[in-house]
Amino acid sequence: MIADDSDAIRMVLKDILDIGHHELVAEATNGFETVEKFIETKPDLLLLDMAMPKKDGINALKEILAANINAKIVMITASDSVNTMTTCINAGALAYLLKPFNFEDVLKTITKILDGAKN
Amino acid sequence: MKIVFSLVKMSDHFHKIARQEIQEELDNLKQILLQCNDDTDISNNGNKIEKHLHKIKGLAPMMGQNNVGEIAKLNDAILRHIIENGMLGGAYQIINESLHMMQEIFNDTNKKNIDEFRTKIRNTFSHIFNQ
């Protein structure tokens, strides 16, 4: 599942999932929709943007993990501050991808997490 | 695999949508700055301004607009400093100049050298960038 309010970013992420032969089960463009669709579709992994309208990525992540402690979530953000990174990991994200992201790194991270290894 | 990823990156459709989104962020940023008259106004609108710079910073380099991305990144750092510490002298002028520079670069096919402007921003706010 992909959650990002940018059509362009979702498009790139969809292409990356496609190249990696991963099925996209849902997309969301804000935090509320992200939580709803995650609970509804139960994706193997969520690529979640931090800065989204209505509900930010961190709060969406916390709600999803409260509903499903085993949810696999990778945060995506343009913020390169250590604080942001620490916040994501402490909140329960398995990994953190920095925008502008390296496409190969995104696929490697997805593959690694889906294979069961914590990034 | 690298070739496939390059194709993804350069997709015309992606480029078109990314361009629209960045233009929208620049337009929204301009609207906020039009309502600001000084450093205090910048501080009062810090979160709103930072939100647009943050989007530009993340997306512009992915469509090859590295200079726009870099100016947005420098201004994002300035705004984060303002949000955490309050009003910053000189921010109004630099942020407005940065918006004009980003608009100019974004709408000009010729590569523009931003070295001088980058140095100006870094020197103006050396306490932020030399940490």
The pLDDT profile of chain B, 131 residues, written as one tens digit per residue, is 554 555 455 588 899 999 999 999 999 999 999 999 999 999 999 999 999 999 999 999 999 999 999 999 999 999 999 999 999 999 999 999 999 999 999 998 666 789 999 999 999 999 999 86
Report which of residues A118 and A57 the model is more confident about: A57
Counting the structural domains of chain A, the total is 1
**CB spacing of A11 vs B63 below 8 angstroms:** no
Query: How many residue pairs from chains A and B have C-beta atoms closer than 8 A?
Result: 59
Residue type, A55: K
Residue A10 within a domain: yes
Identify the structural domains of chain B with CATH numbers, from first to last.
2-129 (1.20.120.160)
Residue A69 within a domain: yes
Percent of chain A with pLDDT over 90: 83
Residue A119 within a domain: no
Give me the pLDDT at residue A23, please. Answer: 95
How many other CB atoms are there within 10 angstroms of residue A78's CB atom? 25
Instruction: pLDDT band for A115, please (50, 70, 90 cuts).
Output: confident
pTM: 0.89
Report the sign of the C-alpha dihedral through residues B118, A86, A114, A117, in that order: positive
ipTM given for this complex: 0.86
Tell which residue, B108, B80, B14, has the closest CA to residue A8. Answer: B14
Q: What is the CATH number of the domain that holds A24?
A: 3.40.50.2300
pLDDT > 90? residue A36? yes
pLDDT > 80? residue A33? yes
pLDDT > 50? residue A118? no
CA distance to partner chain B, nearest, from residue A106 (Å): 11
B11 contacts B63 by C-beta, under 8 angstroms: no
Number of residues that make up chain A:
119
Residue A48 within a domain: yes
Residue A61 within a domain: yes
Residue A23 within a domain: yes
Residue A99 within a domain: yes
Domain boundaries, position A103: 2-114
Nearest to A12 among B54, B55, B62 (CB): B62
* Collapsed DSSP state (helix, strand, coil) of residue A42: coil
Give me the pLDDT at residue B2, please. Answer: 55
pLDDT > 90? residue A83? no
- Chain B hits for A103, Cβ within 8 Å: 5, 8-9
